[in-house]
Amino acid sequence: MDDLNPLAGTAHLLEEVDKKLMVLLRDGRTLIGYLRSVDQFANLVLQRTIERIHVGNEYGDIPRGVFIIRGENVVLLGEIDRDKEQKLPLKEISVDEILDAQRREQEQRQEKHRLVSKALKERGLAVNAELINEDFC
């Protein structure tokens, strides 16, 4: 790297500006959009953003527009490879269908959670549901 560059050897996002990025948030949501700006807190500006919902090997995209994301909610971000994007091993379905699939998945997860809690309770163990972040189960 250029020694004159004051950012040499530091982690920064300036090289990602104007690229198409996927951003994973702490709540588990995936956003895909063009990064327009960043600051020292990793606050991000995304333009032409879509929210991509994955269920199994199907996905659906919801257009969302411009985002200002507060940096502390970002888990990771990465550039989207335009070539590989063309041949995803996933199937795109409509927004309504993916939302439906997501709702069913959520219900299944809750049902499983209920059974586990019940089983634990019978064995004298209490689970505080509030402490479990369901998005990461």
Partner 1 sequence: MLPLSLLKTAQSHPMLVELKNGETYNGHLVSCDSWMNINLRDVICTSKDGDRFWRMPECYIRGSTIKYLRIPDEVIDMVKEDAQAKSRNRGEMNKNRGGNSQQNQNQRAVRSGNRNNFNNRGGQGGGPGLGNGGMRTGGSGQGNRLLAQNNKNRK
Q: Which stretch binds partner 1 (CB under 8 A): 1-9, 34-42, 92-100, 109-117?
A: 34-42
- How far does Cα 84 stand from its chain's mean position? 19
Is residue 36 at the binding interface for partner 1, with CB under 8 A as the rule? yes
Is residue 88 at the binding interface for partner 1, with CB under 8 A as the rule? no
> Quick one: tokens of 44?
């991000």
- Give the up-direction half-sphere exposure of residue 72: CA atoms within 13 A in the CB hemisphere: 0
Cβ proximity of 30 and 22 under 8 Å: yes
Binds partner 1 (CB under 8 A): choice among 7, 12, 19, 47? 47
Measured CA to CA, the distance from residue 51 to residue 62 in angstroms comes to: 5
Is residue 25 at the binding interface for partner 1, with CB under 8 A as the rule? yes
| 35 C-beta neighbours (distance < 10 Å), count | 21
Tell me the number of residues near partner 1 by CB under 8 A. Answer: 18
Binds partner 1 (CB under 8 A): choice among 21, 44, 55, 101? 44
Cβ proximity of 79 and 20 under 8 Å: yes
Pairing of strands 30-38, 74-79: unpaired
Q: Which stretch binds partner 1 (CB under 8 A): 67-75, 83-91, 92-100, 117-125?
A: 67-75
CB of 51 to partner 1, least distance (A): 11
Which chain residues interact with partner 1 by CB under 8 A?
25, 27, 36-39, 43-45, 47, 64-70, 73
